[in-house]
Amino acid sequence: MLREAGIARKAKSMSRPSDRAWLAQAMAALLGAAMPLAPLCLSAAPNQSNVSSEPQTRDGITKLAAEIPLAAHRAVYDLTMLRSTGAKSPISAQGQIAFDFSGSSCEGYAQNFRQFTELQPVEGPVRVSDMRSATFEDGDGRNFTFKIQTSNDQGAGELVDGKAARRAGSGPVLVDLAKPRKSKFDLAADTVFPTEHLRRILASAKAGKHILEVKVYDGSEKGDKLFETTTIIGDEIRKPAQETAIKLPALEGLRRWPVTIAYFENAQKDESPLYTLSFDLYENGISRALRLDYGDFVLGGDLSSLELLPQQACAK
């Protein structure tokens, strides 16, 4: 079970708008690429062969991750309320995620993401939130640029604009923020960026690993947040997906796995996670059956549209 594997399933209550923006940003990072938030039947103390973490990740999983191709695609997910708890939780919700992912390991990976959500509180008018992001990550996961804009019915929020780069060799990661305020700081050498994180999840799944632990930087909050993550990967799903959008010839026969990712404050993995993301993940990086857990309510994301985009193979 998730709790038995060391992850508290219940995310902390997140009432601030910026908290919910973290989750949208994390989903943006991982859609470039998928298990419902139900318990996984893993042993209470998984043996080391089923856990991928540093430095093991550097040796085996990272090498495998570098060889995994990701499909360029455009996807749309329709959002609906799955669960709402608490007196101040919204009573209904709807929205949409639009996502565009392109590139390759030689060109680097570009992604554009938008999440638009309408929440109906118990009292008062509908609350609207809109988060947009544009990122680029080079093929070897050494450089990452990002722009993230959030807004709501109160007006436009802060723009986060910056870049991060790994210093020579396996040195620390230097973050250089232009907005919301100029600053520079270092992150631990074992920090990875979003697309590299995704490729390591896929590499772990293909290698039969059930747990991946890694630090992730994605420009969240005000660009100053580093997450520790624990990813739980279930056994390969054999049952065919039912959405019309996913029934493309190019996806026939591809493997997929149920995935749940818990995000923790840096150096606070003994606490409950800030939030969790769940989805089915195909071996080419496409996701379906999204579940976004905001603590006091949960949104589901059904894949309503999927288009595979032209993609050039890397020159030999």
Task: Taking residues 2-19, report their average pLDDT.
Answer: 37
Digit-coded pLDDT (tens) for 121-175: 999 999 999 999 999 999 999 999 999 999 988 777 789 999 999 988 778 999 9
For residues 34-51, average pLDDT = 33
Q: What is the pLDDT of residue 194?
A: 95
Taking alpha carbons only, the member of 241, 247, 250, 242 closest to residue 309 is: 250
CB 170 within 8 Å of CB 192: no
pLDDT: is 17 or 165 the higher one?
Answer: 165
122 or 16, greater pLDDT = 122
How open is the CA angle 64-315-72, to the nearest 5 degrees? 65
Q: What is the mean pLDDT of the chain?
A: 82
Token reading at 67? 């060889």
What is the C-alpha separation between 252 and 216, in angstroms, rounded? 31
Q: How far apart are CA 18 and CA 37, in angstroms?
A: 23
> Burial of 232 by CB count in 10 Å (0-12 exposed, 13-18 middle, 19+ buried)?
buried
Which of 23-32, 117-126, 302-311 is least confident?
23-32
Contact 246, 76 (CB under 8 A): no
302 pLDDT band, cuts 50/70/90, is: very high
Q: Give CA 229 to chain center in angstroms.
A: 10
**Residue ranges of domains in the chain:** 17-135+191-308
Which pTM does this prediction carry? Answer: 0.83
The predicted structure's pLDDT at residue 173: 97
Amino acid 36: pLDDT: 26
Per-residue pLDDT tens digits for 233-275: 999 999 999 899 999 998 999 999 999 999 998 876 777 888 8
On the question of pLDDT at 199 being above 50, the answer is yes
Distance CA 66, CA 141 (A): 9
* pLDDT on residue 311: 85
Please give the average per-residue pLDDT across 279-297, as a whole number: 93
Note the pLDDT of residue 295. 81
pLDDT level of residue 23 (50, 70, 90 thresholds): low
Q: What average pLDDT score do residues 26-41 get?
A: 42
